Structure 1
Amino acid sequence: MTERTALLIGEQGVKRLSEAKVLVFGVGGVGGFVCEALARAGVGQIDIVDNDVVSESNINRQIIATWETIGQAKTELMQKRIASINPACRAEAFHCFYLPEDKTVTDQFHFAAYDYVVDAIDTVSAKIDIIIRSKGAGVPVISSMGTGNKLDPGKFEITDISKTSVCPLAKVVRRELRQRGVNDVKVLFSKEEPIKNGGRTPGSISFVPSTAGLLIAGEVIRDLLGLNTK
């Protein structure tokens, strides 16, 4: 399955990815496509963390969500999907809700054992904790900011958290990290003004979170291969 990939990154690149271990928090609209792209690129280990099950409202944007998978755990579905795409990829599913105050959950994860950490969850306190733990372990981390209420995937950018604007979630994360003296954090965010839908539940569409997930996966892969110089 790596023949076409090797034409781009060479056999050494394929080998590097096959030896890489990536920890992905969140297997929703963004995280699901992160896992999809990492598995198809030949990453050797992808551990996935999520406590949710598929619901009907997920079908419009989540790669594992279909009418047949409603009610099933997202981590288990993604674990099976990874195995069907890349049998050589080791995938461990952690069906849990990651919160910094729940040590029975957080102590399961040894961040230093990974080559990269991806944060694709919504809870601010958990995002901050994941970023801090990753940086403390010396492991590269990328965090997804808000993708809800957006219609233009061309407005996504990957940059340092200090350079973000417009995104309400990025504003909160930026403030919380600054208060803790944490800097140099890579994030994906959108410069598109959120669309007001009149309710508290964010609107979503098929091509926006998926694009965000693929952009994040691409950044992770290029970093793992040492191709990003900026």
Structure 2
Amino acid sequence: MLNQFSRTQLLIGEEGINRLSHARVAVFGIGGVGGYTVEALARSGVGTFDLVDDDKVCLTNLNRQIIATRSTVGQYKVDVAKQRILDINPDAVVNIYKTFYGPQTAGEFDFSSFDYVVDAIDTVSGKIELVMQANQAGVPIISCMGAGNKMDASAFQVADIYKTSVCPLARVMRHELKKRRVKKLKVVYSKELPITPIEDMAISCRTHCICPAGTVRKCTQRRQVPGSNAFVPAAAGLILAGEVVKDLSNYGGNL
């Protein structure tokens, strides 16, 4: 029967669509990267989502985050993302957590209940904890490396973490995971050299903070506020989603 996922079914077949509809995917970080991942997974027919992010939509998010519009500024990102998913697929189940993920909050999540984990957060400690928890539970995970301070959306590649190069975040992750004897990790990373952001105090979040009321982790607390655009984080997020869809649907017999 013709339905909203029929065009996708032409590529992955009815069994693939059924696999996606019964899959539960956890996305940690619903920002410039994770928002596009969630969007693509919802439009691909994933049945159950767990969305984790404690942040609210800020005016400065409008340049790159699909969930950010003038009408959503000030709302929790997971609330906005949930509404988008249900507008796309009313049959989806969406669990939301207004939580900053890290070693201190890892115990709040049962990783064995997930079929796939997407790491779209930007703290090294959180990313490492996600990998360790997913590995312990035997759940597939894909992790996004640095997407800020870049202009070339075509420079992204999918690889094992130990085969990455150029990306500073990937270098740190390789070092930390090797110490923990993690043997592999599928990642999306860019081979573009990072750009040094222009230091313009007239448009700096450090001196002109406009974070929504109630924001716990403000940009003023960061060592550096990265430059960003509409296309690089989006490309990374869509690549992440593509890998999840291919793996979960058994596209090409990978599972």
TM-score past 0.5 threshold: yes
Distance in 1, Cα, partners of 2:248 & 2:149: 31
Deviation at 1:127, TM superposition (A): 0.3
Q: Which residue of 2 is the match for residue 11 of structure 1?
A: 14
**Match for 2:239 among 186, 211, 215?**
215
Distance in 2, Cα, partners of 1:92 & 1:190: 31
Q: Aligned AA for 1:69?
A: T
Q: Which residue of 1 is the match for residue 229 of structure 2?
A: 205
Distance in 2, Cα, partners of 1:4 & 1:225: 14
Q: Which residue of 2 is the match for residue 59 of structure 1?
A: 62
Distance in 2, Cα, partners of 1:17 & 1:187: 21
Deviation at 1:7, TM superposition (A): 1.3
Deviation at 1:107, TM superposition (A): 2.0
Deviation at 1:108, TM superposition (A): 2.1
Q: Which residue of 2 is the match for residue 160 of structure 1?
A: 160
Contact 2:16 2:251 in 1 (8 A): no
Deviation at 1:114, TM superposition (A): 0.9
Distance in 2, Cα, partners of 1:198 & 1:81: 34
Deviation at 1:106, TM superposition (A): 2.0
Matches within 5 A, 1:1-230: 1-100=4-103, 102=104, 105-199=105-199, 200-227=224-251, 229=254
- TM-score when scaled to structure 1? 0.96
Q: Aligned AA for 2:61?
A: N
Q: Aligned AA for 1:209?
A: P
- TM-score when scaled to structure 2? 0.87
Distance in 2, Cα, partners of 1:198 & 1:173: 26
Distance in 2, Cα, partners of 1:188 & 1:9: 22
SS of 1:68 mapped into structure 2: coil
Distance in 1, Cα, partners of 2:10 & 2:165: 38
SS of 2:157 mapped into structure 1: strand
Cα deviation, 1:2-40, whole Å, max 9, x if unaligned, reads 121111111111111100000000000000000000000
Q: Aligned AA for 1:135?
A: N
Deviation at 1:198, TM superposition (A): 3.9
- In structure 1, stretches of 5+ residues that fail to align are none
Distance in 2, Cα, partners of 1:46 & 1:52: 18
Contact 2:15 2:249 in 1 (8 A): no
Cα deviation, 1:90-135, whole Å, max 9, x if unaligned, reads 11110011110x2xx3222111111100000001001000001101
- Deviating above 6 A after TM superposition, structure 1's stretches of 4 or more consecutive aligned residues are none
After superposition, the CA RMSD in angstroms is 1.2
SS of 1:69 mapped into structure 2: coil
- In structure 2, stretches of 5+ residues that fail to align are 200-223
Distance in 2, Cα, partners of 1:54 & 1:138: 33
Distance in 1, Cα, partners of 2:42 & 2:108: 23
User: Which of the two has higher C-alpha Rg?
Assistant: 2
* Paired-residue identity, %: 53
Alignment coverage as a number of residue pairs = 227
Distance in 2, Cα, partners of 1:5 & 1:222: 11
Distance in 2, Cα, partners of 1:46 & 1:158: 23
